[in-house]
Structure 1
Amino acid sequence: MGFGLVCAVAAAVGQVARAHEGTAVNAPKGAVGPSGGTKLDLPDRPTVPVTLTVYEDPRSPQSREFAQRYADTFARLLASGQLQINHHLVTQSDKQYGGSGAAEAAAAAACAQDQGRLAPFMEQIWQHQPAPAHDALKDRKLLSDLAKKAGKINHDTFELCVDRNERKGWVAESQSAFAAAGLGEVPVVRINGRPLPVPTAQLTPGKLTSLVNAEARRVAAAAAP
């Protein structure tokens, strides 16, 4: 077998392997979910009395605005020990605008999660999010640069995860679950699995803090002997 043919066969094998990785549902490290089901949520903290599940789309300006507006509130609540945040990554903006930027960015975020660096990576996504119509988040060079800016990410491991499409199938499953639940437009927030009693559009940092405190009291009272 000639050298050129060997290279061609090797390239074809690599393409098949990457295609398989792109459809296999391999959850990133630390993902959580229902018993027996696909683990689609990425937690910021271990289990505590109150869990907020935030459905967010890396390409969505509304998701960016929500994340940045509530960053300080989330930090305070996480530090209080009352709250954990589960991030549920969705990609509905790809259907809205066309292209694949949300899926590429979500898969890269899941690769960052494998190294415990989801939050810093998503902060970089929000800070540098391109206009959604441009679909610039599909550029893996941009995603690689954002991973470097996030810091403390082993670059070779991250690049391999992204290049092999190791989290693409998981991202597709995450979007499918979101769409099937009929939750509407992102951002969507649930508190201990239930919709917030006020629409996200009417939420404020103060209201969210009050809701978390009230839920923590409710859980404590329910657990009391």
Structure 2
Amino acid sequence: MDGQEGKATRKGPGAPRRNWRLYGVTAVGLAVVCGVAAAVGQVVRAGEASAVEAPKYAVGSGGGTKLDLPVRPTVPVTLTVYEDPRSPQSRAFAQRYAATFSHLLASGQLQINYRLVTQSDKQYGGSGAKEAAAAAACAEDQGRFAQFMDQVWQHQPAPANDALKDRNLLTGLAKKAGKINHDAFTLCVDRGQRNGWVAQSQSEFAAAGLGEAPVVQINGRPLPVPPAQLTPAELTSLVSDEAQRVATAATP
């Protein structure tokens, strides 16, 4: 009994010291392993951070890194509307479809691109269409194209009357449109800053042989019937059908 107690007594004090040394060696080993793993992880992460890999749907131009992340309409339907500021037919179309366009724009199904043309100047003589189109482009510089053209349609003179070339009339229409800086608008008009742009628009329109304004295209294709023979309800139906077609084509 005494011998066993002596042995037990001798083992007791030494065992904790040996255990602590074992724990210390183990802890050091774990620290080394964790340190190596952390260093490896840092190297891997550093490599990942420096790699240039664009997200799947990123876009770009010019052959460089694709840095743009586009958010597009779910169903992109675009109407391209060619209109002539001096044309009674363009005026009638714009006023007849104003409410329909507003409704379709609000629905999120549609965007509208306007193209200004000036063929009525050749038809009637003078430069009213060109002057009004250039003034509308100057209004667009301030984000007021639609409002300015609404005033043109409301106050459009008879086509044989070349009154739209009158700068005072155009300035007055800009004031009626509201929220257009008078000095910037007048400077743009007086300097003819948008005349070249208007001439290019008319040149491309004539070269395309699209006929007389107004002309309407849906996603780059002509409407199945001329605008004069179209009703607002039929146009709404065409846009809805095109939206469905685009959605179906985009479905994998």
CA shift digits 1:63-118 (9 cap, x unpaired): 00000000000000000001011100000000000000000000000000011000
Shift of 1:201: 2.2
Choose from 194, 211, 228 the match for 1:184. Answer: 211
Choose from 110, 114, 131 the match for 1:83. Answer: 110
Give the structure with higher Rg (CA): 2
TM superposition score normalised by structure 2: 0.70
Alignment of 1:148-163 (within 5 A): 148-163=175-190
Aligned pair 1:131/2:197, yes or no? no
SS at match of 1:132: coil
Aligned pair 1:62/2:89, yes or no? yes
CA shift digits 1:7-40 (9 cap, x unpaired): xxxxxxxxxxxxxxxxxxxxxxxxxxxx9xxxxx
Aligned pair 1:105/2:132, yes or no? yes
Mapped partners of 2:226, 2:139: distance in 1: 31
User: Hey, what does 1:195 align to over in structure 2?
Assistant: 222
Mapped partners of 1:106, 1:117: distance in 2: 13
Mapped partners of 1:209, 1:131: distance in 2: 30
User: Hey, what does 1:31 align to over in structure 2?
Assistant: none
User: Hey, what does 1:19 align to over in structure 2?
Assistant: none
CA shift digits 1:183-216 (9 cap, x unpaired): 0011100000000112222100000000000000
Q: Percent identity?
A: 81
Aligned pair 1:74/2:73, yes or no? no
Alignment of 1:202-221 (within 5 A): 202-221=229-248
Shift of 1:136: 0.1
Amino acid at match of 2:232: P
Quote the RMSD (CA, aligned, Å): 1.5
Mapped partners of 1:202, 1:161: distance in 2: 37
SS at match of 1:76: helix
Q: Which has the higher contact order (CA 8 A, sep 6+)?
A: 1
Mapped partners of 1:106, 1:150: distance in 2: 15
User: Hey, what does 2:30 align to over in structure 1?
Assistant: none
Mapped partners of 1:113, 1:96: distance in 2: 26
Shift of 1:224: 1.0
Mapped partners of 2:223, 2:229: distance in 1: 10
Aligned length: 182
Structure 2 gaps, min length 5: 1-60, 62-71
User: Hey, what does 1:224 align to over in structure 2?
Assistant: 251
User: Hey, what does 1:146 align to over in structure 2?
Assistant: 173
Q: Which has the higher helix share?
A: 2
Amino acid at match of 1:211: L
Aligned pair 1:116/2:116, yes or no? no
Regions of 4+ moved over 3 Å: none
